[in-house]
């Protein structure tokens, strides 16, 4: 059986192109990085647990991608440029095929974002993957959750709800055409972190976050921390291509509450619309204007006819859902 050191060396001691940050990588007590002078370091941690965030039999290559993607998504939501990440991994056994595929998925995405694996830990235990990611951002330019202003437009990147649709297929809430399920599932298993958009929005957007638990719940964090309210135009929400083929009620519900999309939701002054669209174009990421920040607390939903909608919505929470 592979030893702990063999494991790290064999699958994860990955030789990316030299970069200016990493001074000392995998293999010592600590990794050392040299931050760019004057920049702030953005740090985020996500822990993914088998049976909770992914199926126990999840494809390991897609799983490797997803574990890093959700962390890069947090950097994107802050407008930070990725530098590196550490990986802690609890595995029931050291399965060579699984590890090979997992590392391939993980490191391919890391390469794509010049985000270097700088260190980590492996241990035996129920499958658990914990990544901590590091990025850089100039002081004062972070897209914080508490920065939404009354009058701001609310925007969302890409499309919503296909990941939730896939889950409905797995849970057999819905009977889905196999093709549709498969394509929606790709969205669930291989999310695209909107790093380029986050960088382009520096100096333009006010507040931002990534949608991991559902739009209404996550937008609620911006509203609460910024001390504002909002109106959302529910029928303007950009439903994913698979969800668009479903009935309108389902479309609304999954767009509003479906998690796992990892799109950015952000606010920007109404007089910055052109700049937002230019940032979207520069980063090749579609964006849609979906509502407005208002002084009145709470979240109000409207349909295409400007009529108020009463929907029973619940965001995802790890300790209040079964």
Interface with its own copies by CB under 8 A: which range of 55-63, 74-82, 155-163, 245-253? 74-82
Minimum Å distance from CB 183 to its own copies? 28
Q: Does 78 bind its own copies (CB under 8 A)?
A: yes
Least CB distance to its own copies at residue 134 (A): 7
**Closest separation in Å from C-beta 288 to its own copies:** 20
Of residues 37-66, those binding its own copies (CB under 8 A): 37-38, 40-53
User: Residue 113 interacts with its own copies (CB under 8 A)?
Assistant: no
- How many angstroms separate the CA atoms of 115 and 51, rounded? 27
**Among 78-86, 156-164, 165-173, 287-295, the segment contacting its own copies (CB under 8 A):** 78-86
Residue with the two structure tokens 């590196």: 84
- Tell me which stretch binds its own copies (CB under 8 A): 3-11, 156-164, 238-246, 272-280: 3-11
Phi and psi torsions of 240, nearest 5°:
-60, 155
**CA torsion, points 180, 181, 183, 185, in degrees to nearest 10?**
160
Nearer to its own copies, 7 or 215 (CB): 7
Phi/psi for 39 (5° steps) reads -80, 150
Output the six-digit token pair for 322. Answer: 């079964």
Nearer to its own copies, 139 or 308 (CB): 139
H or E element in which residue 314 lies: none
User: In the window 204-233, what residues touch its own copies (CB under 8 A)?
Assistant: 208-210, 225
Three-state SS at 300: strand
Q: Are 194 and 155 in contact (CB under 8 A)?
A: no
Instruction: Report the alpha-carbon distance of residue 162 to residue 140 in Å, rounded.
Output: 34
74 lies in the site for its own copies, by CB under 8 A: yes
Contacts 24+ apart (CB under 8 A), 57-62: 58/189, 59/101, 59/189, 60/97, 60/98, 60/99, 60/101, 60/102, 60/105, 61/101, 61/102, 61/104, 61/105, 62/105, 62/189, 62/190
Binding site members for substrate: 53, 260, 316
Q: Which of 118, 184, 201, 279 binds its own copies (CB under 8 A)?
A: 118
Taking CB under 8 A as the binding criterion, the range among 136-144, 185-193, 233-241, 249-257 that sits at the site for its own copies is 136-144
- Which tokens belong to 178? 């196999």
Is the CA virtual torsion 230, 271, 158, 86 positive or negative? negative
If the CB atoms of residues 227 and 241 are measured against its own copies, the closer one turns out to be: 227
The reply to whether 128 sits near its own copies by the rule CB under 8 A is yes
Of 13, 111, 123, 298, the one binding its own copies by CB under 8 A: 123
The span from the CA of 144 to the CA of 161, in Å, is: 24
Q: Which stretch binds its own copies (CB under 8 A): 117-125, 181-189, 234-242, 245-253?
A: 117-125
The reply to whether 138 sits near its own copies by the rule CB under 8 A is no
Given 58, 67, 80, 166, the residue binding its own copies (CB under 8 A): 80
Of 58, 63, 106, 130, the one binding its own copies (CB under 8 A) is 130
Q: Which of 68, 86, 231, 276 binds its own copies (CB under 8 A)?
A: 86
CA distances from 279 to 69, 130, 272, 316 (A): 21, 31, 10, 30
Nearer to its own copies, 225 or 245 (CB): 225
- Does the footprint of its own copies cover residue 281 (CB under 8 A)? no
């Amino acid at each position: 059986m592979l030893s702990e050191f063999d494991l790290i060396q064999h699958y994860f001691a990955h030789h990316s192109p030299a970069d200016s940050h990493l001074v000392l990588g995998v293999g010592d007590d600590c990794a050392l990085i040299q931050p760019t002078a004057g920049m702030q370091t953005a740090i985020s941690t996500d822990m993914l647990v088998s049976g909770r965030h992914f199926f126990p039999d999840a494809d390991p290559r897609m799983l490797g991608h997803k574990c890093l993607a959700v962390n890069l998504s947090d950097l994107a939501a802050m407008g930070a440029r990725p530098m590196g990440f550490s990986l802690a991994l609890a595995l029931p056994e050291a399965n060579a095929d699984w590890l090979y595929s997992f590392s391939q998925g993980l490191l391919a995405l890391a390469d794509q974002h010049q985000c270097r694996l700088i260190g980590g830990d492996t241990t035996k235990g129920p499958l658990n993957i914990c990544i901590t990611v590091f990025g850089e951002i100039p002081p004062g330019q972070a897209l914080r959750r508490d920065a939404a202003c009354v009058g701001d437009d609310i925007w969302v990147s890409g499309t919503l709800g296909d990941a939730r649709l896939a889950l409905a297929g797995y849970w057999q809430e819905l009977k889905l055409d196999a093709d549709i399920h498969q394509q929606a599932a790709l969205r669930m298993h291989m999310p695209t972190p909107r790093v380029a958009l986050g960088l382009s929005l520096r100096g333009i957007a006010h507040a931002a976050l990534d949608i991991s638990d559902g739009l209404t719940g996550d937008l609620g964090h911006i509203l609460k921390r910024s001390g504002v309210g909002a109106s959302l135009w529910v029928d303007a929400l950009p439903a994913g291509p698979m969800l668009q083929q479903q009935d309108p009620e389902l479309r609304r519900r999954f767009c509003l509450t479906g998690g796992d999309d990892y799109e950015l939701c952000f606010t920007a002054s109404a007089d910055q619309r052109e700049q937002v669209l230019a940032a979207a174009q520069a980063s090749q990421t579609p964006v849609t204007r979906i509502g407005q920040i208002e002084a009145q607390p709470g979240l109000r939903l409207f349909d295409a006819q400007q009529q108020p909608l009463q929907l029973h919505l619940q965001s995802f929470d790890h300790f209040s859902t079964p």
